[in-house]
Chain A
């Protein structure tokens, strides 16, 4: 039986279990004096029966998905001839890949087909029987789980409490999933980063002022030993994000104040979604806007002022990035300002404060946590933004705070390190993971610091 068929059968069993369970509750209730004599509503008895039918089967399916492949592979490896079985792990992996491909009928190398035919057949038959056993077991488990639940049903059975308990567990699992994913990402990056730091000392990475990740591909190549000082990258990131925030925070905040305090509601209803479109424009589009329109304008303006402007200046990328993240600031700040109770404003007005005094002294301080939240979100977007910088600010890792020079950022370097052919044992490739880890840590620290600042200075209403 194939998996989709199995799932269909499971669904049918579950539906049947629900209706049978509910029916059972109703028939239990009838002699005892109607539904009021039950502990829970009849539908909860149905849900309970359905849960009894579905949970054991699902558990088995998950276990099968987790373990069956490795069990089968182990059996196949045992059946291989001595010579193949004793290969190093990496080559054994390749052999197994060949076997799987052959089993799936995707092997076109005639010479190897014969060599692996036996193993491939074994692989296929093992999979087939495992699938058959699985189907039988799942259906059997579902039926017996349902039967177990069915015989538990009594008028005083606390079905609602059981079902609500199950729902609560499901909710907990859902929130654990997000946390587990974050931890998983962190771990996967960390492992590669640790490998990188075995080859390049941590102190060089953290404090080195030169970034030139080209390593020698063949022995004896000249001038390409690779230096991995990440300072220029972080300075570049800081510079461009700083410019972006300098653009986005004041403009976004002013937009938010105008929209929530001055604009008529009808205008606000139109302007706010239009502004949010800014955040929806693909960053590539911003990228060529920055490279083709803004950068030449800046260069022209610079020439007229007698300044030397690189054709890929940090300023252009930063300005355009600032425009891009305005909606994060304006929209979230607007929400935060709107959430400040009207009673605060009334209290201020009643003391003879003007509108601007009220906004500056009462409304904005009260909305500060939300505003800072918006700025933080904008900052992490700016730090993580790649495309605009690739197109408008270039790749050269200059250590410079001059916005008219070309700089590069952490994310851009990660991309360039991972684009094209890579070898996972060279520091050049692994450097990408070290950079990723650092970026993760830096943004995390920024978040923690900002939260502390907000907690210290927030003016909490209610």
Chain B
């Protein structure tokens, strides 16, 4: 079954048109607003018809998208297009915003995230998040990474906790820089180190999905390059959804890209195709820098 694009002249490659394992429905039925295939093989997160209202503002309109295991999906689009809102739905961070109302079908491993009785705490342990501005806790480097493990009781004793902390710092590529000063405050690190500390903190809880909300927007090019390398390495183990304003970054780190516009997903597809041969006029305008 092939996804039908609305613009007739584009032929979607078959790899892009793999059927969704969970919901074997024609793509135009599940995502009428979207060009391209919203489904992913081996999806860990499935969103169908997601809507978000902030008070009277309809911030996210009827959005459907899958996130597959071991894939890095980039969410791009102009400011205020709803990509961060979408990201925050995936670990229910919108719950902390009073006026936000979320509706639609959001599934993690087939389970409804917004079902009554869902434990938000467990959900967020499985779907970690890295924020736009590095926000290490005002605690020591060690305590920053140990925080999640402590609150979830992942370590039975100090040795296990040490293992988790060192392992996470290692995977975040930070261990060589900080191993001699684990007791120094995390806020004393440089911006790029702080962001990698936040990533270490997130993977210490061993999530399945990592959401990144413009993780490099506050960083210099060298720190950005390190984070991008890190995303590459992490994708072997985690599903990663990254919101970014940098087209180059999306092209460098992601395998799939979703283009958001005014609360809707306009187009989804493999990153190289989105950037070289977009189907939707708005996508083309955006990736060629005509607006945004």
Contacts and interface: CB of A to CB of B under 8 A. Distances in A.
Contacts of A377: none
A350 B147 contact: no
B96 A459 contact: no
A341 to B, nearest CB: 7
B121 interface: yes
B6 interface: no
Interface in B114-163: 121-125, 128-129, 131, 133, 135-139, 147-148, 151-152
> Of A341, A344, A352, which is in contact with the most chain B CB atoms at under 10 Å from its CB?
A352
Given A357-B151, A361-B151, A348 B137 contact: yes
Contacts of B3: none
Given A350-B131, A351-B147, A459-B185, A345 B138 contact: no
B138 A344 contact: yes
B235 interface: no
B128 A351 contact: yes
B202 interface: yes
B148 A351 contact: yes
Interface in A64-100: none
Given A343-B131, A361-B147, A350 B138 contact: no
Contacts of B137: 344, 347-348, 362, 366, 459
Interface string A334-348: 000000010111111
B144 to A, nearest CB: 9
A357 B147 CA distance: 10
A104 interface: no
The majority secondary structure among interface residues of chain A is helix
B138 to A, nearest CB: 3
B201 A351 contact: yes
A459 B93 CA distance: 25
A461 interface: yes
A354 B131 CA distance: 18
B198 interface: yes
B198 A347 contact: yes
Interface residues of A, number: 22
Contacts of A346: 93, 96, 129, 131, 135
B172 interface: no
Interface in B194-213: 198, 201-202, 205
A365 interface: yes
B205 A461 contact: no
B229 to A, nearest CB: 23
B151 A351 contact: yes
Nearest to A462: B187
Interface string A346-380: 11111111100100011001100000000000000
A348 B147 contact: yes
A293 interface: no
A400 to B, nearest CB: 43
Interface in B169-194: 185, 187
Contacts of A348: 137, 147
Given A349-B93, A351-B128, A351-B151, A343 B185 contact: no
Given A361-B147, A461-B187, A351 B138 contact: no
A353 B202 CA distance: 12
B271 interface: no
A365 B138 contact: yes
A354 B124 CA distance: 10
Interface of A: 341, 343-354, 357, 361-362, 365-366, 459-462
Top 4 nearest A-B pairs (CB, nearest first) are A459-B138, A352-B125, A350-B129, A343-B135
17 contacts: A344-B137, A345-B96, A346-B93, A346-B131, A347-B131, A349-B93, A350-B129, A350-B131, A351-B148, A351-B205, A353-B147, A354-B121, A366-B138, A459-B137, A460-B185, A461-B187, A462-B187
Interface of B: 91, 93, 96, 121-125, 128-129, 131, 133, 135-139, 147-148, 151-152, 185, 187, 198, 201-202, 205
